[in-house]
Amino acid sequence: MLKGKKIVLGITGSIAAYKACLIIRGLIKKGAEVQVVITPAGKEFITPITLSALTHKPVISDFFSQRDGTWHSHVDLGLWADAMLIAPCTASTLGKMAGGVADNMLITTYLSMKAPVFIAPAMDLDMYAHPSTQRNLEQLRSFGNHIIEPQSGFLASGLEGKGRMEEPDVIVSRLENHFAGKGTLAGRRILITAGPTYERIDPVRFIGNYSSGKMGFALAQACASQGAEVVLVAGPVSLATPSGAVKRIDVESCEQMHDAAVEEYPSCDAAILCAAVADFKPESTASQKIKRKGDDLVLRLKPTHDIAAELGKMKRSDQRLAGFALETNDEEQHAQEKLERKNFDFIVMNSLRNAGTCFRSDENQISIIDRNGIQRFDKKPKQAVADDIIGKLSTIL
């Protein structure tokens, strides 16, 4: 889907700049033509000679290439490109893009760009979490830019947290899906549930689980990238809203998620139920913090709504429904039973026995089960897993 596509790759002053070589290689292997635009700080991390050797094009950095009046036209680049990708993108560049501070060739090219823009931030965890950075990201999303969320991991500072640029193969996949997705899910409306639910015990305690919402948000991004209108019903998570046509509904409890899903599903073509919904909640919620008295606290629990079963009963012949099965033993048997019980078209199975997947992880390893059999996948980043799942959904739609 990238064959013949013209991509402007913006590189900024981040230690992750070396990964731009892998991005270039991935894009060119897919048949794309790549023109690099690099900031002055970016050249401190990777040389234009290396980038030029990979792209077979001179690297653009300055407004003027020499003192005879020859200049690089950011306007022409904006008209030439099918897409612009800025990877890595520093906090400084994010701020300049959000504020329209056109003090280098990369920013002027961005401001002149007629094609879709993809941004892959890379920075230390505190910089990424800072309110100014988050504000700039939200501003850029509101402009229609596609944000490729950074991942959690080991950072150049020696710390560990969110801020690590997404892996090059996933970034290339995102661009490929964008061009492939024009029409794949265009005109479709997809409901996705994500994250945990919290069932209150008292004003400060709750019953919940370890779900981070990363898988559900990756699914929402994959759907939006392929042209769908997405309704994302999100439990209590600290994740930024995916870029694109995403309507986000924040909820806390199973009852709130149930009400939102039941209301939205009739107007949707399909739903993917990825949320880790609590199966039980306290019979009553204390209005004040429960004080410790003695050694035992007895809680009486009652079942919560079975959202999947209810949507399965509501499902029309022209709708599709998919769910998840997180298992700890006899995985395939339990998933097959759930597929039938909930009236799913297919079910995504994963297991806590696969180390480094599931809750709080940036990777997952799944199998997709339908009534025709099972398809197994290797362990990979959750955004790539989402692409596999959306590929299945696109096929049955």
Q: Where in the sequence numbering do the catalytic residues fall? A: 209
Instruction: Note the helical H segments in 81-185.
Output: 91-99, 105-112, 125-129, 131-142, 168-180
- Looking only at the bridges linking them, the beta strands covering 346-351 and 6-11 are unpaired
Please answer whether residues 386 and 222 qualify as being in contact, where contact means their C-beta atoms are separated by less than 8 angstroms: yes
DSSP classification of residue 276: B
Structure tokens at 18: 């070396």
Q: How far is CA 24 from CA 57, 59, 87, in A?
A: 12, 13, 10
Amino acid occupying residue 310? E
Please answer whether residues 10 and 110 qualify as being in contact, where contact means their C-beta atoms are separated by less than 8 angstroms: yes
* Nearest-angstrom CA–CA distance, 328 and 155: 32
Mutual angle of helices 20-29 and 168-180, in 10-degree steps = 40
Structure tokens at 283: 């019979």
